[in-house]
Amino acid sequence: MYRQQILDHYKNPRNYGELEDPDIEHVGENPMCGDTIKMFVELADDGDTIERVRFVGDGCAISQASASMLSGELHGKSLETVEAMDRDDVADMLGVELSPMRIKCAVLAEKVAQDAIAIHKGEADPVETTTE
């Protein structure tokens, strides 16, 4: 059973949609199932603080709820803070114990965000994120 909060974010995703001219844009996929998340990020004038996040996606309740929750969490954070997040932060955010399979669903959005930042900084090649 998923917690009510997860189902609520799945059915009513926050910050759902696209940004027209984002500073950062990146897509990721869980290759096990084909579920996807695409994130759009707008930065503040300092070039480091996340000002707006939007996402679109298609997938299971955990992956999409996780993207919805993360989109709210990222607001106001520095790029460095987001890069330092790990799967425990995602698990805490979701508030449920997850099996190894479901953890991949949960971390997809976080990986997309972190890869997006690495690509933005020129620290990674602009290839699609996967949970593998």
Q: Which 3 state secondary structure label does DSSP give 29?
A: strand
Q: Does 124 bind ligand FES (CB under 6 A)?
A: no
**Could you give the CA distance from residue 46 to residue 32 in angstroms, rounded to a whole number?**
38
Q: Which is nearer to ligand FES, 105 or 117 (CB)?
A: 105
| Identified binder of ligand FES from the candidate list 108, 112, 113, 116, rule CB under 6 A | 108
Residue choice 6, 50, 105, 117 for contact with ligand FES (CB under 6 A): 105
Window contacting ligand FES (CB under 6 A); options: 9-17, 39-47, 60-68, 109-117? 60-68
What is the rounded CA–CA span in Å between residue 59 and residue 87?
19
- By the 8 A CB rule, do 73 and 66 touch? no
Kindly tell me which residue out of 60, 96, 103, 124 binds ligand FES, with binding defined by CB under 6 A: 60
The residue (of 6 and 108) whose beta carbon lies closer to ligand FES is 108
- The distance of closest approach from Cβ of residue 60 to ligand FES in the complex, given in angstroms and rounded to an integer, is 3
Q: Is 62 in the site for ligand FES (CB under 6 A)?
A: yes
Non-local CB neighbours of 95 within 8 Å, separated by 6+ positions: 3, 5, 6
| DSSP states of 35-69 | EEEEEEEEE-TTSSBEEEEEEEEES-HHHHHHHHH
The interface with ligand FES within residues 17-46 (CB under 6 A) comprises 30, 33, 35
